[in-house]
Structures are given as structure tokens and as C-alpha cells.
Amino acid sequence: MQVQFREFSQFDVWFWLEFANVPSEREKKLVEEVFSSWFFLGKLGGFNAENTQVQETGLDLSYMDYDNDAADSTMMSLMHNMGDFEYEGNWGRCWLDLGTSDAIAIDVLINSLAQLSKEYVEIIQLLIGGENEDWEIDPSHKESLFQDIN
């Protein structure tokens, strides 16, 4: 799976997936579950790079002292909104407002989709940001996303 970043706005970003074939309903469900699970973790503040105490400790986690005060003192990093997944031919796309979540969230998504591509549904490329010249974004589309979410 190739990964390419294009014009990127944290609060207004499209994720585009090009599949090797037109995805089946089962394959669509798997992709949507990855995005939904990832978004839910982000909505709960799971992608907060300021609080990576376990990662910073290293491999030996036995009897690690977790500092709850340090965790509570970090700035919240929450994802805000996610649109519905859409498909056209062998393309899929999803719009997100990543809010104040940290960039580690995108690494987690890329890693998850790469493994999904190896085992379940072949993804040729993941495009992050920008627009797809073969599939235009209707300017009113974002307005309808916000109406559906609110």
C-alpha cells in the first residue's frame, strides 16, 4: 500500500483509498470498522502524544510508575467529526475533522490499513488530504456532513 500526503488541513481532511478491485460489501465493512474504531479512540483522546508514558518507559514495564497527575495535566487531543464512508468504483473516501488529536493518530491509521491490505482487502494507495481529480467534492457536501453530524 502506497501512502501519499497531499494538501492537509487537520480540521478538514479527506482520506482516499484506492482498492485493487471494487470492494465487496464485506470488504467495505472491514474498512469502515477500521476508520470507525480509529475515530472513536480519537474522539476519546486516545491519540495524545503528550502523554506517552508507557512508550517512553521502554520494554520493561514491570512495576512501572504511571503518573496520573502528568496524564491529567496534558492538553486534550480530541478528534471532532467523521463523515460517512463513500465509494465510487474502486475508490473509497471519508472526510474527518481531526480536531486537536496528534499526528500519531495518522501513524496508527496507516499501520492498521497496511495490515488490513495485507490480510483482507488489497489497498493500492492511501491518499491523505487534497482532492481526487477523478472524484470531485461538491462544495455543499461538507455542509451536509455537518448537518448529519449535529
Give the per-residue pLDDT at 53: 64
Q: What's residue 78's pLDDT?
A: 86
Q: For residue 38, is it within any domain?
A: yes
Structural domain contains residue 86: yes
| Separation CA 5–CA 128 (nearest Å) | 5
CATH classification of the domain holding 120: 3.30.70.260
Q: Give this prediction's pTM.
A: 0.84
Residue at 107 is within a domain: yes
Residue 149 lies in a domain: no
Per-residue tens of pLDDT for the chain, all 150 residues = 999 999 999 999 999 999 999 999 999 999 999 999 999 999 998 888 776 666 777 777 687 676 677 766 766 788 999 999 999 999 999 999 999 898 899 999 999 999 999 999 999 999 999 988 878 787 665 555 555 554
85 lies in some domain: yes
Domain encompassing residue 9: 2-50+76-132
Q: In angstroms, what is the C-alpha Rg of the chain?
A: 17
> Which are the contacts of 60, defined by CB distance < 8 A and separation ≥ 6?
none
Give the chain's domain count: 1
Q: Hey, how many other C-beta atoms are within 10 angstroms of the C-beta on 140?
A: 8
Residue-level pLDDT at 87:
97
Which pLDDT score is estimated for 60? 76
